[in-house]
Structures are given as structure tokens and as C-alpha cells.
Amino acid sequence: MRTHSAGGIVISYYPAEARIDLSAIRSNLSSVREAAGEAAVLAVVKADAYGHGRAEVARALAPAADYLGAAQLGEALALREEVGPGPRILTWIFAPGAPLAQALRADVELSAGAFWAIDEIARAARETGTTAKVHLKVDTGMARGGFNLADVAEASRRLRALQADGLLAVVGLWSHLARADEPESGATERQIERFEQARAAARSEGIEPEILHLAASGGALWHPAARYDMVRPGIVLYGLSPNPEVATARELGLTPAMELSASLILERGVPAQTPISYGHTEKTEAPTRLGVVPLGYGDGIPRAASGVGPVSVGGVRTRIRGRVCMDQFVVDVPEAATAGDTAFLFGAGDLPSADEWAQACGTIGYEIVTRLGARVPRRYHG
């Protein structure tokens, strides 16, 4: 099961795997579409689809999504190769000197959130003889990407002139929310107000894009006024909650799409007072059965999970004992466990969830799945 062979030759072997449920991802997309009402959906597949594998996930989502989104230009170019011509793709992170001509030839739509970006997009359009599709980005309260409100009119003037020359078409106006996962913070309402001001400033310069978009998962779920023409969900597609304290994935009707497991490579009984792993950070209190799981921080297992990461072996919930090492960790196992048994780290149903891992490690579910290392094979089903 953990070996792939071709003509009897082993081409890959690893004692652990991440099983990815593509039908769960499709069903999570339907759930968010339902929650978002009339809004179109841009499915975010950045960072290797949050660790799930971009090509497979994008191919599963493309028929049902209105757009695909990847943060980095390089990811967007690879994504175009993977899904072929047709699906609309938006990307928003590139630096001065980026290969924008390549993006335009690949029909990748570009965010413009700085004057240099407008200039470089126009140059690339001239060079390629294409019309760039541009999404004007405004910073409405994150101090991250996009024009300051005060610069939106000037940016719109420049875009309008380039649009008149046929070099580009402003198809979107967009921004990003800082605290959509805290529905009571008031911050989202303030950002919506600024977004409206940006919209008015652009309109006064003759820029009225057809697609306004502001909301990622948290906004799509919890701020109806932020949905506009399109929402940009990421984390909910993978079956995790943007904020489990507001609503858990289960309460949101989402199915976690990644199940991480490994074969125990060793089990043994040890007496009370046995120190465990590097640094001897803990000792057994009583005679104990310990197992060894061949996954470590070299696979993206957080070292912060030392002593606390939840694991399921033989249907029993246990936890990591002592420090997580680069390639392995020690875990409590039930009496009957033997080498070769499967240890589940997280998944759907009764297994520990990635959100529980996040809580145990002091981080967010996003990081738990996204950091899973390239060394761990992904296997697809559904």
C-alpha cells in the first residue's frame, strides 16, 4: 500500500503517507458556494494547495470553480500547465522584474497594487501584443498588499489611459480582510467602508470593474456584506475552519481532506522512569508501551508538538512522548500494538483533527497542513 511499483521495480517507498480525499474537497467547495449565495468562487490553491498537492487539487476543482488563485506568479504559471487553457487564474505576488510577459502569454490575470506593477504590466502587454487582465488592489486595513486609498484615483487614471490603448483591461477591484475570522471585531465593517471609498475613487476616474472581491474563507462564511461579486476561499476547501473558536469544521459541515498516517517501525515495553527522546524532557510514570513513528520535523511535523501532539493507534488516542526529532518521534501505544500497525496523526471523523494539532502546538490549522514536507507522498482518492 505504501509502495508504488512499475514492472516490478520499486519507484517510491516511504513508511508514511498523506491520503487526500478529492471528493471531500469538491464537497467543501459546494458547501462554501452554498454559504456564499450568488457570489462567484475563486478557489485558492497556493502553497501546493495548502500542502494537498496543487495539480491534483486544481484539476478536481477547476470544473466547479469560477477562478483558480495562486499567490506566487511562479505557482500560477505551473498551475496553467496543470489545468490547461480555459480556467481563469489570478495571481497576486511578484516583485519588480518578474516574468510578466510569460504570465500574459499563459493568460494569467495579474493583481496591480503598486505603480511599478502597473508600469511593468503595461510593458509586458506591449511586448507580447496581448491585453493584460488586471485586478486593481487596494489596501483597506492590513498594511500589506495594495494601493493606499489616497493613491487609488491616480492609479485608476493611469490604468484608464492604458486601457484606452488596449494594453490592459481592469476586470477586478479587490482587497483582503485582516480579521474576518473574528466576526465581532468591527474591523471587517471598517474595511468594507474603505473598500466602498476605493470603489468610488476608481469610478470617478472611469474605472468600474465587473468583479469586486474582498472575502476569503472567514469573510465568505461570516460577513455577508463582504461577499460582493466573488469570494476567495482557501482553508475551507481543505475542510478546516478559519477559526475553530467561532465554529469548528464539523459545525461548518466541512470534511478534512488530508489524512496523515505512518507505519509504526518499532514497539517496546519500558519500565517506569524511562527517559524519552532528545533532552530527556519527559520520563514514563509507569511501565509503558512505546512506539516509534517515522515522521519528524523533516517532514513538517512541528517540533512544538513534542509531548503534546495527538495520535491514534489501534483506535486509541495517545500522544507524542518527548521531543519530535527530524525523522521520527516516540508515542504511547496500546498493549496490542505492533510494528507495522498504522498510527494516524490527523484526518476526518474520529481521528484527531489538524485543528486539534494546531491547538496543541500553538498555531493554526493552515500551518499544520501547509507545512507537511515534500518528502511525504500524497495519495489521492475520490
Residues that bind ligand PLP (CB under 6 A): 44, 46, 71, 92, 176, 216-218, 232-235, 242
Q: DSSP 3-state assignment of 245?
A: coil
Cβ at position 218, least distance to ligand PLP in Å? 6
Euclidean distance between CA atoms 106 and 84, whole angstroms? 9
Which cell goes with 252? Answer: 461548518
Cβ at position 46, least distance to ligand PLP in Å? 6
Pick the catalytic residue from 46, 67, 228, 366.
46
* Residue 258 annotated as part of some ligand binding site: no
Cβ at position 50, least distance to ligand PLP in Å? 7
Q: Is 279 exposed, middle or buried (0-12, 13-18, 19+ CB in 10 A)?
A: exposed
Which single residue is written with the C-alpha cell 475520490? 382
User: Is the CB of 44 or the CB of 293 nearer to ligand PLP?
Assistant: 44
Q: DSSP 3-state assignment of 110?
A: strand
Pick the catalytic residue from 133, 278, 297, 380.
278
Active site residue 46: yes
- Other Cβ atoms closer than 10 A to 327: 14
- Where b means 16+ CB within 10 Å and e means fewer, 13-43 reads ebbbbbbbbbebbbbbbebbbebbeebbbbb
* Residue 142 annotated as part of some ligand binding site: no
User: Is the CB of 47 or the CB of 83 nearer to ligand PLP?
Assistant: 47
User: Is the CB of 217 or the CB of 318 nearer to ligand PLP?
Assistant: 217
User: Is the CB of 178 or the CB of 266 nearer to ligand PLP?
Assistant: 178
Cβ at position 171, least distance to ligand PLP in Å? 16
Which cell goes with 300? Answer: 513538517
Active site residue 278: yes
**Residues catalogued as catalytic:** 46, 278
Binding-site annotation, residues:
144, 326
The annotated binding site for substrate is made up of 144, 326
